[in-house]
Homo-oligomer: A and B are copies of this chain.
Amino acid sequence: MENHEYFMRRALVLAQKAFDEGEVPVGAVVVHDGEIIGEGYNVRTQKQNAMLHAETVAIYNACEKMGSWRLWDCCLYVTLEPCPMCTGAIMNARIDTVYYGADNIRAGSCGTVVNLFDYPFTYKVNIVKGILQEECGTLMVNFFRNLREKNKQKKSAENADTENQ
Contact = CB atoms under 8 A, between A and B. Distances in A.
Contact residues of A: prevailing secondary structure: loop
Given A48-B63, A50-B92, A59-B51, A113 B107 contact: no
Nearest to A46: B69
A48 to B, nearest CB: 5
**Could you say how many copies of this chain the assembly holds?**
2
Interface residues of A, number: 40
A66 to B, nearest CB: 8
Interface string A60-87: 1001100111110000000000011111
Contacts of A48: 63, 67-69
30 contacts: A44-B69, A49-B60, A49-B63, A49-B64, A50-B59, A50-B70, A50-B89, A50-B93, A50-B94, A51-B51, A51-B60, A51-B63, A51-B93, A52-B69, A83-B88, A83-B92, A84-B116, A84-B121, A85-B86, A85-B88, A85-B91, A85-B92, A88-B88, A88-B109, A106-B122, A107-B121, A113-B119, A113-B120, A114-B114, A114-B116
